Amino acid sequence: MAGKTVSKFLKVKSSDEVLALIDRLHPLPAVEVELAAACGEVLALSVVAPESVPHFSRATMDGYAVRARDTFGASETLPAFLETAGEIKMGETVTRRLEPGTAIGVPTGGMLPEGADAVVMVEYTYPLDDKTIEVTRPVAPGDNLLREGEDISVGRELFPGGWRLRPQDVGVLAALGVTRVAVRRRPRVAVISTGDEVVPVGASPVPPGKIRDINSFTLAAQVEEAGGVIGLRKVIADDLALLTDVCRQALEDHDVIMLSGGSSVGVRDYTLSILEHLHDSELLAHGVAVRPGKPTILARVGEKVFWGLPGQPVSAMMICRAFVLPSLERLQGRTSKHAAFAVNQLNAVLARKVPSVHGRTDYVPVLLSSAHGRLSAEPVFGKSAMISTLAAADGYIIVPEHVEGLDQGTDVLVCLFSGPGKAG
Strand ranges in 89-141 using DSSP code E only, listed in sequence order: 102-106, 118-121, 125-129, 132-135
Nearer CB in complex with ligand MOO: 176/288: 288
For ligand LQZAQKY5, the nearest residue by Cβ is: 311
Minimum distance, C-beta of residue 289 to ligand LQZAQKY5, in the bound complex (Å) = 12
Q: Which does 211 bind (CB under 5 to 8 A by kind): ligand MOO, ligand LQZAQKY5, none?
A: ligand LQZAQKY5
Which of 261, 326, 333, 395 touches ligand LQZAQKY5 by CB under 6 A? 261
Q: Which of residues 273-302 bind ligand LQZAQKY5 (CB under 6 A)?
A: 294-295
* Dist. CA 331–CA 162, nearest whole Å: 10
Nearer CB in complex with ligand LQZAQKY5: 85/318: 318
14 contacts ligand MOO (rule: CB under 6 A): no
* Dist. CA 324–CA 333, nearest whole Å: 14
Asked if 21 and 284 count as a contact pair (C-beta separation under 8 A), the reply is yes
Q: Which of 80, 88, 94, 92 is nearest to 62 (CA)?
A: 88
* Dist. CA 185–CA 42, nearest whole Å: 8
Q: How many CB atoms lie within 10 A of CB 179?
A: 11
Which of 57, 102, 215, 222 touches ligand LQZAQKY5 by CB under 6 A? 215
Q: Which does 262 bind (CB under 5 to 8 A by kind): ligand MOO, ligand LQZAQKY5, none?
A: ligand LQZAQKY5
Helix count and strand count (H, E) for the chain: 10, 26
Q: Which of residues 299-338 bind ligand MOO (CB under 6 A)?
A: 310, 312, 315
* Dist. CA 306–CA 21, nearest whole Å: 13
For ligand MOO, the nearest residue by Cβ is: 315
Residue 11 phi/psi, 5° resolution?
-145, 75
Letter string b/e over residues 289-315, b meaning 16 or more CB atoms within 10 A of that residue's CB: bbbbbbbbbbbbbeebbbbbbbbbbbb
291 contacts ligand MOO (rule: CB under 6 A): yes
Asked if 182 and 43 count as a contact pair (C-beta separation under 8 A), the reply is yes
Asked if 101 and 133 count as a contact pair (C-beta separation under 8 A), the reply is no
264 contacts ligand LQZAQKY5 (rule: CB under 6 A): yes
Q: Which of residues 192-211 bind ligand LQZAQKY5 (CB under 6 A)?
A: 193, 195, 197-198, 211
Minimum distance, C-beta of residue 288 to ligand MOO, in the bound complex (Å) = 9
Q: Which of residues 347-406 bind ligand LQZAQKY5 (CB under 6 A)?
A: 384-385
User: How far is residue 353 CA from its own chain's centroid?
Assistant: 31
Interface stretch with ligand MOO, choices 37-45, 68-76, 101-109, 292-300 (CB under 6 A): 292-300
Nearer CB in complex with ligand MOO: 312/361: 312
Instruction: Enumerate binding residues for ligand MOO (CB under 6 A).
Output: 291-295, 310, 312, 315, 384
Return residues touching ligand LQZAQKY5 (CB under 6 A).
5, 193, 195, 197-198, 211, 213-216, 260-266, 269, 294-295, 310-313, 315, 384-385
